[in-house]
Chain A
């Protein structure tokens, strides 16, 4: 199963429900294309809900970093919501937990955007 992105609007924050596997190939390119599309539409507050992401590999981590960098460089913010334990462990192991703002509750995540 490759990755699927379902964006929805909560106030001025775009919450993207992501599901599937973010891995090298279709999984990571879908994520890249989806975030790029949001950026083109002028969305600057993006919250990736990873609750249904079952697997991320090193390439998928790279795509998350690339998404974070491109949104940040465009003056926006990209944050993460609802990490599974395995994804959280992976972000801690690779110290990416220090890069991303990570939330367990959507309400507080949405409220955190400035």
Chain B
């Protein structure tokens, strides 16, 4: 289904702190429950959102208090889109190592984007101008 049917949108700016993940998850859960997401899918969506916010705070904004994380939650009839943007240097997802390759299994980091991809139906990354990264997560009910 096309995502031009989104009828409700919530926008907010979050501080570059780890507990912003709680705030983001709360907003997303509220919107997701309204359109009928079940508990297991809520959990997966929540995990993807938390990982994305942590990436934005830690790797994007690097905990810089002057930088914000922009969160948009767009509700459609059968899906939710979550857009998260930071003000960091940006990254190329194609350059990330595969965390489930045998030689990477014992790496301590590098699983965040992998989990996000696994838990939503669509994941897009784009660089913002002049700086920053925007990720879009789409999950269907």
Residues of A that sit less than 8 Å from B by CB: 23-25, 57-59, 61-63, 65-66, 68-69, 86, 90, 93-96, 98-99
B47 interfacial by beta-carbon distance below 8 Å: yes
Q: Which of B43, B54, B115 is within 8 Å of A93, CB to CB?
A: B115
Contact: B105 with A99, CB < 8 Å?
Answer: yes
* Chain B residues with a Cβ closer than 8 Å to the other chain, count: 19
Q: Which residues of B are interface residues toward A (Cβ below 8 A)?
A: 18, 43, 47, 50-51, 54, 58, 99-100, 105-109, 111-112, 114-115, 118
- Tell me whether A65 and B108 are in contact (CB under 8 A): yes
- Known A65-B108, A94-B114: A86·B54 in contact at CB below 8 Å: no
- Contacting residues, chain B, for A61 (C-beta < 8 A): 111
Is A58's CB under 8 angstroms from B18's CB?
no
* Given A24-B54, A25-B18, A57-B54: A65 in contact with B106 (beta carbons within 8 A): yes
> Does the CB pair A69–B106 fall under 8 Å?
yes
A86 to B109, CA, bound (A): 20
- CB nearest neighbor in B for A93: B118
